[in-house]
């Protein structure tokens, strides 16, 4: 099967805004995920992390029975610290192509792409915006306005591109987030259920020995105990479990998606190009079948792929059709990836 075997030396520009007008591209390149403006998703992620850390380690882990409590502090604590470190590194790394980085001045405005002079931003491994020769797997990200080495996708949650330099930090951040939130949600669920089954199991901290009422509970044990009511403990537990389910499902989907990509040795960009081409071929087949039905002849059917069906770049030309085909996992658009926006200048 060879429809992905032809090598192209250039990328194909997309219609800007569906052809309705010029697309806004920043005049300056972004350095990394800290470059302004911050993305709202980024702020949501930090708020969510802070909420889970405070509620998990401040309220529910201290209520676990003795042995479990220490295990939870260590295991979930390591996952949370590991996530924080890999998340911050993935944001901070500048994933630009080395040759772009070598001559880059971030204070200098980037030139506008002149489509009358060049058909593609990158041609023959040269980027006309970065004015540099780039690697074969580099792509010019329209959000970052620079070429990214081993481009995977532009992540709104990191507010940074994910490329060869920070892919594993991104991957570890996703993995630690899934495991951390999953375990913490299980702890909260355990406390919630145990409150009704055997609440004495949750009252092992020495602070509970000085209170006579079984309806007195504490948060922020053991360092700064604050009295609260059972209703408070249970209400926050319900809210936390509800908030925890969404990221477990979404980030779990994203993790499975990237495990699948690693297994197939593909990037997110490769996968998206493949999906786009498959859809394009399917749509053309449908049109041709409709024509055959109306004409009653097979004569006009073209069996070879057209130029537009071919991969958009050198990198995607590395795709090979597997006998089993690529499984459609439903690329997790809303979670992390922004390939469509990113490749528009590729
Ligand atoms: Zn570039
Ligand atoms: Zn980017």
* SS3 annotation, 254-317: HHHHHHHHHHHCCCHHHHHHHHHHHHHHHHHHHHHHHHHHHHCCCCCCCCCCCHHHCCCCCCHH
Cα-to-centroid distance, 304 and ligand 1 (Å):
32
Q: Which two tokens stand for residue 110?
A: 């980037």
Two tokens at 332? 């997790």
Check residue 7 and give its pLDDT.
35
Tell which residue, 313, 235, 278, 339, has the closest CA to residue 1.
278
Answer whether 210's CB lies under 8 Å from 276's CB. Answer: no
**How far does residue 298's CA lie from ligand 1's centre (Å)?**
45
Ligand closest in space to the Cα of 141: 2
* Euclidean distance between CA atoms 311 and 198, whole angstroms: 61
pTM of the model: 0.78
Q: How far is the CA of 15 from the centre of ligand 2 (A)?
A: 19
What are 141's strand-pairing partners?
Answer: 146
Instruction: Give distance in angstroms: CA of 144 to centre of ligand 2.
Output: 4
User: What spacing in Å lies between the alpha carbon of 338 and ligand 1's midpoint?
Assistant: 17
Q: Running DSSP on this structure, what letter comes out for residue 10?
A: B
- Cα 128 to ligand 1 centre (Å): 7
Phi, psi for residue 214 in degrees, rounded to 5? -75, -5
- Tell me the CA–centroid distance for residue 176 and ligand 1, in Å: 32
Kindly identify the ligand whose nearest atom is closest to the C-alpha of 95: 2
Catalytic, 161? Answer no
Handedness of CA 36, 42, 44, 46 (dihedral sign): negative
Residues composing the chain: 346
β-strands 126-127, 132-133 pairing:
antiparallel
Q: How far is CA 33 from CA 72, 91, 113, 169, 238, in A?
A: 31, 5, 24, 13, 33
CA separation, residue 94 to residues 21, 33, 167 (Å): 31, 8, 12
Ligand number, closest to the Cα atom of 113: 1
Point out which residues pair with 297 in neighbouring strands.
none
Determine which one of 127, 130, 141, 155 is catalytic: 155
Which numbered ligand comes closest to the C-alpha of 155?
Answer: 2
Rounded Cα distance between 309 and 328, Å, is: 18
C-alpha 142 – ligand 2 centre gap (Å) = 7
What pLDDT sits at residue 314?
37
In this predicted structure, what is the pLDDT of residue 184?
A: 97
**How would you classify residue 125: left for phi > 0, otherwise alpha for psi between -120 and 50, otherwise beta?**
left
DSSP-based three-state secondary structure for 141: strand
Which ligand is closest in space to the CA of residue 110? 1
Give the per-residue pLDDT at 110: 86
Q: pLDDT in tens for each of the 346 residues of the chain?
A: 333 333 333 343 333 333 344 444 568 899 999 999 999 999 999 999 999 999 999 999 999 998 899 999 999 999 999 999 999 999 999 999 999 999 888 888 888 888 888 888 999 999 999 999 999 999 999 999 999 999 999 999 999 999 999 999 999 999 999 999 999 999 999 999 999 999 888 888 888 888 877 788 888 888 788 888 889 999 999 999 999 999 999 999 999 999 999 999 999 999 999 999 998 898 888 888 887 766 554 433 333 333 333 333 333 333 333 333 444 455 564 444 444 344 434 3
| Nearest ligand to the CA atom of 118 | 1
Strand (E) or helix (H) holding 47? helix 40-55
CA 34 to ligand 2 centroid distance, Å: 12
Cα(255) to ligand 1 centroid in Å equals: 29
């Amino acid at each position: 099967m060879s429809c992905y075997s032809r090598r192209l030396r250039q990328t194909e520009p997309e219609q800007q805004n569906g052809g309705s007008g010029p697309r806004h591209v920043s005049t300056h390149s972004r350095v990394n995920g800290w470059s302004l403006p911050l993305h709202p998703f980024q702020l949501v992620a930090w708020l969510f992390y802070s909420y889970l850390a405070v509620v998990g380690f401040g309220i529910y882990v201290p209520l676990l029975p003795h042995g479990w409590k220490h295990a939870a502090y260590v295991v979930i604590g390591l996952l949370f610290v590991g996530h924080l470190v890999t998340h911050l590194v993935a944001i901070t790394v500048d994933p630009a192509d080395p040759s772009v980085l070598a001559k880059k001045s971030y204070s200098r405005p980037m030139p506008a792409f002149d489509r009358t002079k060049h058909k593609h931003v990158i041609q023959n491994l040269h980027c006309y915006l970065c004015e540099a020769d780039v690697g074969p797997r580099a792509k010019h990200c329209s959000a970052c306005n620079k070429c990214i080495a081993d481009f995977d996708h532009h992540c709104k949650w990191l507010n940074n591109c994910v490329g060869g330099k920070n892919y594993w930090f991104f991957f570890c951040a996703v993995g630690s987030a899934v495991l951390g939130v999953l375990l913490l949600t299980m702890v909260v669920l355990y406390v919630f259920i145990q409150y009704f089954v055997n609440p004495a199991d949750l009252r092992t901290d020495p602070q509970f020995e000085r209170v006579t009422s079984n309806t007195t509970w504490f948060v922020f044990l053991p360092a700064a105990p604050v009295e609260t009511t059972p209703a408070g403990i249970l209400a926050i537990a319900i809210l936390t479990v509800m908030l925890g389910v969404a990221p477990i499902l979404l980030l779990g989907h994203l993790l499975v998606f990237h495990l699948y990509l690693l297994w197939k040795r593909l990037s997110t960009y490769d996968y998206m190009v493949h999906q786009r081409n498959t859809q394009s071929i399917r749509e053309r087949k449908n049109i041709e079948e409709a024509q055959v039905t109306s004409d009653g002849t097979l004569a006009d059917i073209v069996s070879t792929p057209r130029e537009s069906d071919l991969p958009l770049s050198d990198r995607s030309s590395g795709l090979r059709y597997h006998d089993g085909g690529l499984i459609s996992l439903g690329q997790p658009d809303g979670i992390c990836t922004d390939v469509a926006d990113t490749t528009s200048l590729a």
